[in-house]
Amino acid sequence: MSLIPFSGTWTRSEAAHLLRRTMFGPTHQQITAIANMTMTDAVNQLLTVGLLNPPLAYDAGETVVAQGQTWVSSLYPSNPLSNQLCETARVKSLTGWLMQNMNYQAMDISQKMFFFWHNHFGAAFSSDARATYTYLELLRTSSLGNVKQLVKDVTVDPAMLIFLNGNTNSVQHPNENYARELLELFTIGKGNQIAAGDYSNYTELDVASGAKILSGYLVQGIRSSTLTAAQTLFLNPLHDTSTKTLSYHFGNATVANAGAQEYANYIDIIFQQPQVATFICTELYRFFVNYDITNDVEINIIPQLAQTLIANNYDILPVLQELFTSQHFYDVALRGSIIRSPLETVFSMLNSTETQINVNLATDYNIYLNIYYAAANMGLDFINPASVAGWEAFYLSPAFSRLWINSTTIKFRFDIATGLFIFGIPINGYTLKVDTIPFLNNLSLPSSAISVIDDICELFISKPVDPATHADLVNILTNNLPTFEWTLQYNEYLNNPNNPTFVDPVRYRVQLVLDRVFKMPQYQMI
Amino acid sequence: MKRRQFIKNVALTSASLPFVSNGFGMQALSQKLFNFSTGAEDRVLVMIRLNGGNDGLNTVIPLDQYANLMLHRSEIIIPQNQILSVTPEVGFHPQMQGMKGLFDQGKLSVVQNVGYPEQNRSHFRSMDIWTSGSLDVSETRGWLGRYFDSYNPNYPAGYPNVTYPDPFAISMGSEVTATCQGIAANFSHAVSNPNNAVNLYQGGFVNDGSYYGEHVEFVGTIIEQTNSFGQVIHAAAQAGSSLSAMYDPTNNLATQLKYVAQMISGGLKTKVYVLSLGGFDTHDNQADATNLQAGTHRGLLKTVSDAIAAFQNDLQLLGLEQRVVGMTFSEFGRQIESNASLGTDHGDAAPLFLFGTCIQSGIIGPNPTIASSLPDQAGISMQIDFRDVYASILRDWFQVPTNEVQQLFAHQVQFYSLAGTCNVSLEEQALANGSMLVYPNPTPSSVHVKVNLAEGRAMGELRDAHGATVKTYFDQNFSSGVHTIFCDMDGLASGTYFLVIRNNENTLLEQVVKMK
């Protein structure tokens, strides 16, 4: 198998697979829309990143801007206590906003690619919500752009400088933290240790030299009452002006003093190594296709993706185009090979049932915060990656995405389903519970029990379910009655759309079906 | 787990088993992990992972190196008069009152300078090495998972069962532990609160053999296990108790250890508990020599120290001290020189702690030597291989035969006496069988040898690694019975020696490691 273009028939099955992998839970209509396009148009449609409105103030701790206004370019209060309360309010706003974006996802890959890069760089919340926002927006807006430029931009971003101590790395006192992760996790990757301090692709000398090259930066304006943004400063007296030597892995290249431009020169040298493309493309493959890098994938798939990345000077868009239009991506053997992350678990429940939170400003943010904490309880604390390497489910062999599932987290997954679809989740006086009626009405043939279950399985389960499971679901929908009874019940509802006597039973049966689906092992995969 | 069940289990699974060898010639082991010959049946190991790379030099401070430490880390060093001296040469961080108390009671030991050859300073790779107990990148299993695998080749299919109703290991929190990763599944069961009951829907499913099918089966098995294990864990938590008043409810590690005590006292037969505490990657704001209240390291050490002290107190009150030993581990120590951020960068070896009444208490191994002038990025050199610590605990605590322990590790295992002080019956047995006991081993100065001699003449001497005699201790007549003899090793260079005792009947030989 190589990356030959997909040559089969473009059907709903392929469309659903593509959307499950590139979004946080597609809707039935989105699958229809994508299935009705050509594959090329569909992929091109998905490979876009739009603009987003910034997060809004909603919490009483925000004392600088008015409720409903954005704080992303605002000062902080000078009083230390108010300053802290304001930061807490902004963190809550930013966190809720990140969840809102996943809930209001456009029909494109942008939220998934954002997640990819956020996992790739692994930076946790900085101490200034404005800096965190700017950093995360850098990742999102650049997510389909040039990888080399993104690495450069991240390197001197205030939030990253703080996160990996680049802001205290000086000629007087080198701090290796960023220099090490730049090589190990962000660009070339660490290979086997083949000699003392030699990790196949770089050595401890490169880490030490990198720290010198990257010395001289400070961050100012953190939670400032006089500066509207965190800013990166380069100070020559803090910079190591010596000529740095890299190891034989970089052809013993030397990096001459170039002051504030030196980091970019160094990153250019790193990106001359083709291993960078292999490293990035392997990570992409694991994120979007399958954890298992088989011999065939290693020999035929990854090198071709890497070649495309290099040929396009590290623009990532052509790589994604090639991947998502390939025969390999749609291989039935690879369907359902990834276990849903906690966010995919929750947002598929919401997004695929067309549930968008829209109560009022403060309640919406509070609901999103609760969703955020639910995901954190299942192992995905989005704003605080498990480590700078990201979440283990994306890189730790041999279990990979299975690491999302254990006795604690599976119980939580089930509890969320019960809360959203059966009991409701009380949040600030509002009860969050999915209304399944609009969802049902948008399916292809709501009056047919068989068709409803077919649509639900297509939406939530990556491979056809076995007949016994399908029959179980039909029986839940019909309450073990013949299927025509469902048809009658649904038609009575259509004739009495405002009468609870007819609406509620229909709504409830669909709730029960979805609750069951989300507790099936088969649901846990995409 | 009863002995007769063990025999039954062997009968069921002793056929030649599929086993990934990783090129090390590891073989399928016919005996199970815990060969309960004498008292190991109810023994429990508690491991506490200090995630991020704990700064050993700010935890266990080599007092005899203080002047040179001042040269390299004056910005973060604890003032000398604040350090808690536990021996004339060794001090603890001032926040470690709890662990100092345990040390004074003989319930805590420090194993110094633990690491592995050619230290890897990546968090990720180094933690993989620590959890797998292997330097081989192709080893994907944990060191405990490898062992569990060897006699449970089909796990998780068919577990729990009548013989094994309880989880092999429990990982506190929402993640399973890599130490227990086996070929097909992880042997640890994640528990966030054992007081919560679970009863999850168990759907039917079909494994079609694809990646998807394998996942479906995996998730289905987890659901079944969660229900089964959940019931026994919940029952144990209900039956068990916790008696110590020392647990701080705001200390999450303490709360988790309290749950562990509760589960053990409630009769759960789980052998291994793994806990984790993050935050040790102190590149910045670790400590400030001019302001002892500043920095994050002090709080981390207090958390660890208070939690362990409370747990040990609880075990004492519950009458469980003879059944539990614990250890800490971290992926590496940190560099000797502090950086400009009041922090330290990734380094090499570091001390680890063992705790419990059955451990060999005291300071094991010499202080690290801090030179006045250091090369860039210098860390602490490793002297004791962490894999030997694991191996020694398997031997001493779980009484796994040494040949089986060796099969788990690719390197030549060096055993140390770390957790065998409760093995009285075993010791008597060993002496009766004509072997000798040498302690402490490794030793910074001298050793005692305990040996069962027949009446008559016997001779004792020390030989070096080449077989040359370097000291003769005795050549005299002995009465019949057990004798304890002091053997002076002062003035000898660090290295491996052999203590040899001969009489007319046979020759006894024991390896002794001198570390200074």
Q: Does B8 have pLDDT greater than 70?
A: no
Q: State whether A180 and B346 contact (CB < 8 Å).
A: yes
Q: Does B96 have pLDDT greater than 90?
A: yes
Q: Which residue of A has its CA nearest to B338?
A: A173
- The amino acid occupying position A227 is L
Q: Does B294 have pLDDT greater than 80?
A: yes
Q: Which of B125, B92, B133 is nearest to B409 (CA)?
A: B133
Which of B139, B199, B283 is most worth mutating to test chain A (most A CB atoms within 10 A of its CB)? Answer: B283
Q: State whether B122 and A190 contact (CB < 8 Å).
A: yes
Ranges A291-305, B42-56, B411-425: which has the least confidence:
B411-425
Residues A93/A59, Cβ–Cβ less than 8 Å: yes
Tell me the residue ranges of DSSP E strands in B454-516. Answer: 456-464, 469-478, 481-487, 495-503, 507-514
Q: Does B274 have pLDDT greater than 60?
A: yes
- What pLDDT is recorded for position B27? 27
User: Is the peptide bond preceding residue B156 cis, with omega within 30 degrees of 0?
Assistant: yes
Give the tens place of pLDDT for each residue, B182-216. 887 889 998 888 988 777 887 777 788 999 999 99
Q: From the centroid of its chain, how far is CA A325?
A: 21
Round to whole Å and give the CA distance between A91 and A228: 16
Q: State whether B340 and A388 contact (CB < 8 Å).
A: no
Q: Which residue of A has its CA nearest to B132?
A: A397
Average pLDDT of chain B, as a whole number:
86
Both tokens of A211, joined, read 């720290």
Contacts of B303 (CB under 8 A, 6+ apart): B251, B252, B253, B254, B277
User: Does this model's pTM top 0.80?
Assistant: no
- What pLDDT is recorded for position B358? 92
Q: What is the value of ipTM here, to two decimals?
A: 0.93
User: Is the peptide bond preceding residue B165 cis, with omega within 30 degrees of 0?
Assistant: no
Q: How many residues does chain B have?
A: 516
- What pLDDT is recorded for position B447? 86
- What pLDDT is recorded for position B23? 26
Chain A positions in Cβ-Cβ contact with residue B339 (cut-off 8 Å): 165, 168, 173-175
- What pLDDT is recorded for position B38? 37
Round to whole Å and give the CA distance between B66 and B77: 9
Measured at the CA of B54, the angle between CA A87 and CA B76, to 5 degrees, comes to 70
Q: How far is A289 from chain B (nearest CA, A)?
A: 11
Q: State whether A389 and B124 contact (CB < 8 Å).
A: yes
Question: What is the rounded (10 degree) CA torsion for B134, B139, B140, B145?
Answer: -60
- What pLDDT is recorded for position A1? 56
* Burial state string for A337-348 with b = 16 or more CB within 10 A and e = fewer than 16: bbbbbbbbbbbb
Chain A positions in Cβ-Cβ contact with residue B199 (cut-off 8 Å): none
Round to whole Å and give the CA distance between B142 and B132: 4
Q: Is B282 on the interface with A (CB under 8 A)?
A: no
Q: State whether B223 and A466 contact (CB < 8 Å).
A: no
- What pLDDT is recorded for position A506? 94
Q: Does B7 have pLDDT greater than 80?
A: no
Q: How confident is the model at residue B516 (pLDDT cuts 50, 70, 90)?
A: confident
Contacts of B375 (CB under 8 A, 6+ apart): none
N-terminal to C-terminal alpha carbon distance within chain A: 22
Q: Which of B304, B164, B308, B319 is nearest to B241 (CA)?
A: B319
Residues B76/B288, Cβ–Cβ less than 8 Å: yes
Chain B positions in Cβ-Cβ contact with residue A403 (cut-off 8 Å): 175-176
H-run or E-run covering B217: helix B211-239
Round to whole Å and give the CA distance between B64 and A140: 53
Q: State whether B226 and A411 contact (CB < 8 Å).
A: yes
Separation in Å, CA B380 to CA A211, B319, B336, B366, B377 = 21, 39, 7, 12, 10
Give the tens place of pLDDT for each residue, B463-510. 998 889 999 999 999 888 878 888 988 888 888 899 999 888 788 888
Q: How far is B384 from chain A (nearest CA, A)?
A: 18
Round to whole Å and give the CA distance between B260 and A408: 16
Round to whole Å and give the CA distance between B382 and B112: 9
Measured at the CA of A317, the angle between CA A314 and CA A322, to 5 degrees, comes to 105
Task: Give B 124-143 residues with CB within 8 A of chain A.
Answer: 124-125, 137, 140
Q: How many helices (H) and strands (E) does chain B have?
A: 11, 21
Separation in Å, CA B231 to CA A186, B198, B397 = 44, 7, 28
Chain A positions in Cβ-Cβ contact with residue B256 (cut-off 8 Å): none
Measured at the CA of B443, the angle between CA B437 and CA B444, to 5 degrees, comes to 160
Round to whole Å and give the CA distance between B295 and A351: 43
Q: How confident is the model at residue B31 (pLDDT cuts 50, 70, 90)?
A: very low
Largest CA distance in chain A: 83
Q: Does B41 have pLDDT greater than 80?
A: no
Round to whole Å and give the CA distance between B262 and B271: 14
Contacts of B136 (CB under 8 A, 6+ apart): B22, B23, B24, B410
Q: State whether B120 and A468 contact (CB < 8 Å).
A: no
Alpha helix ranges (H) inside A289-360: 295-296, 302-311, 317-324, 342-351
- What pLDDT is recorded for position A133? 98
Round to whole Å and give the CA distance between B339 and B343: 5
Q: How confident is the model at residue B363 (pLDDT cuts 50, 70, 90)?
A: very high
Burial (CB count within 10 angstroms: exposed 0-12, middle 13-18, buried 19+), residue B63: middle
Helix (H, G, I), strand (E, B) or coil at B94: coil
Q: How many residues does chain A have?
A: 526
> What DSSP string describes B354-370?
EESTTS--EEESPPPP-
Chain A positions in Cβ-Cβ contact with residue B195 (cut-off 8 Å): none
Q: State whether A176 and B345 contact (CB < 8 Å).
A: yes
Round to whole Å and give the CA distance between B191 and B233: 9
Chain A positions in Cβ-Cβ contact with residue B203 (cut-off 8 Å): 469, 516, 519-522
Q: How confident is the model at residue B15 (pLDDT cuts 50, 70, 90)?
A: very low
Per-residue pLDDT of chain A (526 residues; tens, 9 = 90+): 579 999 999 999 999 999 999 999 999 999 999 999 999 999 999 999 999 999 999 999 999 999 999 999 999 999 999 999 999 999 999 999 999 999 999 999 999 999 999 999 999 988 999 999 999 999 999 999 999 999 999 999 999 999 999 999 999 989 999 999 999 999 999 999 999 999 999 999 999 999 999 999 999 999 999 999 999 999 999 999 999 999 999 999 999 999 999 999 999 999 999 999 999 999 999 999 999 999 999 999 999 999 999 999 999 999 999 999 999 999 999 999 999 999 999 999 999 999 999 999 999 999 999 999 999 989 999 999 988 999 999 999 899 999 999 988 998 999 999 999 988 998 888 999 999 999 999 999 999 999 999 999 999 999 999 998 999 999 999 988 889 999 999 999 999 999 988 999 899 999 999 999 999 999 999 9
Separation in Å, CA A454 to CA A263, A458, A505, A507 = 55, 6, 20, 18
Q: State whether A176 and B118 contact (CB < 8 Å).
A: no
Separation in Å, CA A145 to CA A117, A194, A320, B5, B11 = 11, 34, 11, 61, 61
Contacts of B323 (CB under 8 A, 6+ apart): B42, B43, B44, B264, B315
Contacts of B51 (CB under 8 A, 6+ apart): B127, B276, B277, B278, B279, B280, B281, B330, B331
- What pLDDT is recorded for position B24? 26
Q: Which of B123, B125, B376, B378 is nearest to A208 (CA)?
A: B376
Chain B positions in Cβ-Cβ contact with residue A407 (cut-off 8 Å): 189-191, 198, 222, 225-226, 229-230
Q: State whether B283 and A389 contact (CB < 8 Å).
A: no
Q: State whether B189 and A169 contact (CB < 8 Å).
A: no
Tell me the residue ranges of DSSP E strands in A196-282. Answer: 217-220, 231-234, 244-245, 254-255
Q: CA-based Rg of chain B, rounded to a whole angstrom?
A: 24
Helix (H, G, I), strand (E, B) or coil at B346: strand
User: Is the peptide bond preceding residue A174 cis, with omega within 30 degrees of 0?
Assistant: no
Q: State whether A175 and B284 contact (CB < 8 Å).
A: yes
Q: How far is A56 from chain B (nearest CA, A)?
A: 31
Average pLDDT estimate for B94-116? 97
